[in-house]
Amino acid sequence: MEEVRLMKGNEVIAEAAIRCGADAYFGYPITPQSEVMETLMERQPWLSTGMVVVQAESEVAAINMIYGGAGCGKKVITSSSSPGVSLMSEGMSYIAGAELPCVIVNVSRGGPGLGTIQPSQADYFQACKGGAHGDFKLIVLAPASVQEMHDFVFDAFDLAFKYRNPVMILSDGVIGQMMEKVILAEQRPRLTDEEVAERYGSWALTGKPASRGRNVITSLDLDPYEQEKFNLKLVAKYKEVEENEVRYEEYMTEDAEYMIIAFGSSARICKKTVEIAREQGHKVGLLRPITLFPFPTKRIAELAEKCKGFLVAELNAGQMVEDVRLAVEGKAPVAHYGRMGGAVYSPDEVAEALNEKIINRK
Amino acid sequence: MAEMKVEIRKENLVYQKTPLLTDNTMHYCPGCSHGTIHKLIAEVIDEMGMQEQTIGVSPVGCSVFAYNYIDIDWAEAAHGRAAAVATAIKRLYPNKMVFTYQGDGDLSAIGTGESIHVCNRGENIVVFYINNAIYGMTGGQMAPTTLIGMKTATTPYGRDPKLHGYPYRIATMVAQLEGVCYVTRQSVHTPAAVRKAKRAIRKAFENSMAGKGLSFVEFVATCNSGWKQTPVEANKWLEENMLPFYPVGDIKG
């Protein structure tokens, strides 16, 4: 039977991790996402599903625990917020370099530095453009509701194992802290050690039986030509991801002359802006990228053929706007509107910016 | 003169390497302690019949390629993070025998935080700590364990505590922690030392499988290339300089 609850976004991450049959969570407390680990510790999933939960001594340790757990072929998840994610970035590079599946949740806050503890989308570049050394990409999902915080944990694990690549859920302090209705999935069983060995025994650390050579989880190759072959393999993988996994949501785009592009919590605000603008007599639509990598470049390029202008509304100084400009290729004006440091715009403020920067631009 | 007949037959075999040591040519310099310690670990895993149950975590440093030499599953960790990697592996596979193999730079410089906390959590793993008082792989720079006055690539006039701080003994530090059941310091520079070291490795592995907590085995080791000595000189230097500061023997358990 369907289970409906009123929950915080952060609590839902924990609940979804348990219910999707995750094997472990490793993390370190940081505002505004500490409820993830608090909820797990209260739920004690090691007594029910056998899921391991460890409070690490730092985000650096936590992400390396993720590396070890993912190397075992297990479903492992961590969560943090912006400064903590910066500390994890080295580990993400190693995880991508060793082609390991895992889920990393960033409930982002204002920066740079310690910044604020209020919501922000200033980590778009970090999430989508590598964020650490070496040529690699995370697959990035951007939830806009508490329900999506739940659903994307399941989706993120599916993608992580399908492509053997780290997947980030890029959320923010709004979605993490707000309470909404959520429909919880039924509990899925964790894979047994035997099932893990059967599915992932070709690469994972399961203990070396006589029947196979040893498995080594590593990102090291001193031969530049071998390393380049590996880099090309990653390039091909990311291309495949771009071809198959683009997800976005459209709102009132059929007749739209002007487009707002926004992701995550910002898209929730901009939905209202669309209604306000339509009441003012402007045909405005909204495109919400759900996957930030892969980015819905093709769809935005199509819209650029028929739309008169784009406003990219993000809670940052202008990051996703660069990807929108690349997609639009100068066929229509593209402007950015943002608030920063933890400040959040109202639907009216975005409507005003839309009028000023796009509809009535001189 | 009596005629001598040599027969090479299997039944006359008195020694052979354990099958757990692969046939890959080791990249270690002649005289380096790593090869001997690898052999001992491989022998103990084999003698315990634990090949299929053992997962190793190799560090960044000279032993980064340990996974090429011991025929078990391995994770190669980021510099200093082996303890965190091993924590997850052991928690997810409590019945596996999990160990880290780390040098002094990896474990007691960049990875000090992870090293202390893995001990404090009392993870049921074995930590092998190879202390040769120098960074071997990067070309002989100062390690946290470099002795006072010792010349390295980054202490060309000798380690001066006013400039570089003091060498420290992390084994005696972690021995204070509740989660640690066994701390010992060994060396492999003489046949007698090798035999003792092997017994320590066995005890540590057995502790981990008995769930007694973390076992920490330090090896005072030679780096004759980094020390710019012949293998024989390095063994002598180890005895005269390293062992007085890092005395061998059990520290706890």
Is B212 among the domain residues? yes
Partner B, chain A 22-41, Cβ-Cβ below 8 Å? 23-24, 26
Q: Are residues A147 and A272 in the same domain?
A: no
DSSP H or E segment with residue B235:
helix B231-237
Is B49 among the domain residues? yes
Q: Which one of B53, B78, B92 has the shortest CB-CB distance to A69? A: B92
Q: According to the model, what pLDDT value does residue B97 have?
A: 98
Is A242 among the domain residues? no
Of A129, A152, A184, at which residue does a domain stop? A184
Is A113 among the domain residues? yes
**CB pair distance less than 8 Å for A57 and B117:** yes
Q: Which one of B52, B55, B78 has the shortest CB-CB distance to A64? A: B78
B50 Ramachandran zone, left/alpha/beta (phi>0; psi -120 to 50): alpha
Q: According to the model, what pLDDT value does residue A1 have?
A: 64
Q: Which one of B55, B75, B92 has the shortest CB-CB distance to A24? A: B92
Q: Which domain holds residue B171?
A: 28-252
Is B188 among the domain residues? yes
CA distance A152 to A342: 24
By the CB < 8 Å criterion, does B101 face chain A? Answer: no
Cis peptide before A32 (omega within 30 of 0): yes
Q: Which domain holds residue A318?
A: 248-359
CA distance B12 to B8: 7
Please name every residue paired with A5 in a beta bridge, in sequence order, or none if there are none: A182
What is chain A's pLDDT, residue by residue, as a tens digit (362 residues)? 679 999 999 999 999 999 999 999 999 999 999 999 999 999 999 999 999 999 999 999 999 999 999 999 999 999 999 999 999 999 999 999 999 999 999 999 999 999 999 999 999 999 999 789 999 999 999 999 999 999 999 999 999 999 999 999 999 999 999 999 999 999 999 999 999 999 999 999 999 999 999 999 999 999 999 999 999 999 999 999 999 999 999 999 999 999 999 999 999 999 999 999 999 999 999 999 999 999 999 999 999 999 999 999 999 999 999 999 999 999 999 999 999 999 999 999 999 999 999 999 98
**CB pair distance less than 8 Å for A76 and B54:** no
Domain tally, chain A:
2
Q: What percent of chain A has pLDDT over 70?
A: 100
Q: According to the model, what pLDDT value does residue B11 have?
A: 85
Q: Report the CATH number at residue A284.
A: 3.40.50.920
Is B2 among the domain residues? no
Identify all chain A residues contacting B42, using CB atoms and an 8 Å cutoff.
none
Q: Are residues A128 and A263 in the same domain?
A: no
Q: Are residues A52 and A154 in the same domain?
A: yes
Of A155, A184, A213, at which residue does a domain stop? A184
Is B181 among the domain residues? yes
Candidates B91, B123, B177: best to mutate against A (most CBs of A within 10 A) is B91
Domain tally, chain B:
1
**CB pair distance less than 8 Å for B75 and A68:** yes
* Chain B nearest CA to A293, separation (Å): 26
CA distance B237 to B151: 13
**Cβ-based neighbours of A25, under 8 Å, separated by 6 or more:** A14, A17, A36, A37, A40, A51, A52, A53, A54, A76, A77, A78, A79
Of A129, A156, A184, at which residue does a domain stop? A184
Q: According to the model, what pLDDT value does residue B12 have?
A: 84
Q: According to the model, what pLDDT value does residue B8 have?
A: 80
Q: How far is CA A49 from CA A107, A140, A178, A183, A184, in A?
A: 25, 27, 27, 20, 16
* Chain A nearest CA to B7, separation (Å): 32
Q: Which one of A94, A206, A210 has the shortest CB-CB distance to B78? A: A94
Is A149 among the domain residues? yes
Identify all chain A residues contacting B71, using CB atoms and an 8 Å cutoff.
208, 214
Alpha-helix residue ranges (DSSP H) falling in B21-62? 33-47
Place of tokens 């650390």: A205
The pLDDT tens digits for B26-39 are 999 999 999 999 99
Q: Are residues A161 and A283 in the same domain?
A: no
Is A219 among the domain residues? no
Q: According to the model, what pLDDT value does residue B1 have?
A: 61
Q: With a cut of 70, list the residues of chain B below it in pLDDT.
A: 1
**Coil, helix or strand at residue A273:** helix
**Identity (one letter) of the amino acid at A2?**
E
The pLDDT tens digits for A116-159 are 999 999 999 999 997 899 999 999 999 999 999 999 999 999 99
Q: Are residues A252 and A149 in the same domain?
A: no
Is B8 among the domain residues? no
Q: Report the CATH number at residue B184.
A: 3.40.50.970
CA distance B186 to A279: 80
Is B17 among the domain residues? no
A310 phi and psi, to 5 degrees? -125, 135
